[in-house]
Amino acid sequence: MAIERAGAKIVKFYIPLILYLLFLLFPFYWMFNTVFKSDNELYNMNINPLYIHNPTFSNIVTLFKETIFLRWMGNTFFVAITATLIALAASLLAAYAIQRLRFKTSGPTGVAIFLSYLIPQTILFIPLAHIIFKLRLWDSLWSLVLTYPTFLIPFCTWLLMGYFKSIPKEMEECAMIDGASRIRIFRKIILPLCLPGILSAGIFCFTLSWNEYIYALAFISTTAKKTVPIGLVTELVRGDVYHWGPLMAGALCASVPVALVYAFFVEHYVAGLTGALKE
Instruction: Give me the phi and psi of 188, to 5 degrees please.
Output: -90, -25
Map the footprint of other proteins across residues 149-168, applying CB under 8 A. 149-150, 153-154, 157
Interface residue with other proteins among 68, 81, 129, 167 (CB under 8 A) is: 129
Q: Taking Cα atoms as reference points, which of 264, 245, 278, 203 lies closest to residue 65?
A: 245
Asked if 187 is part of the footprint of other proteins (rule: CB under 8 A), the reply reads: no
Smallest gap from residue 195 Cβ to other proteins (A): 19
Q: For residue 267, how far is the Cα from the chain centroid?
A: 15
For other proteins, the closer CB: 221 or 224: 221
For other proteins, the closer CB: 65 or 102: 102
DSSP 222: S
Asked if 96 is part of the footprint of other proteins (rule: CB under 8 A), the reply reads: yes
For other proteins, the closer CB: 102 or 238: 102
Q: How many residues does the chain have?
A: 279
Asked if 57 is part of the footprint of other proteins (rule: CB under 8 A), the reply reads: no
Tell me the C-alpha distance between 96 and 79, whole Å: 26
Smallest gap from residue 163 Cβ to other proteins (A): 15
By CB under 8 A, how many residues form the interface with other proteins?
A: 95
Interface residue with other proteins among 61, 70, 93, 195 (CB under 8 A) is: 93
Asked if 278 is part of the footprint of other proteins (rule: CB under 8 A), the reply reads: yes
Asked if 53 is part of the footprint of other proteins (rule: CB under 8 A), the reply reads: no
Q: Output the CA–CA distances (angstroms, integers) from residue 161 to 84, 121, 182, 278, in the order listed.
A: 17, 23, 17, 12
Asked if 1 is part of the footprint of other proteins (rule: CB under 8 A), the reply reads: no
Q: Output the CA–CA distances (angstroms, integers) from residue 171 to 61, 164, 166, 178, in the order listed.
A: 57, 12, 11, 11
For other proteins, the closer CB: 223 or 255: 255
Return the axis-axis angle of helices 149-166 and 106-117, rounded to nearest 10°: 130
Tell me the C-alpha distance between 31 and 29, whole Å: 5
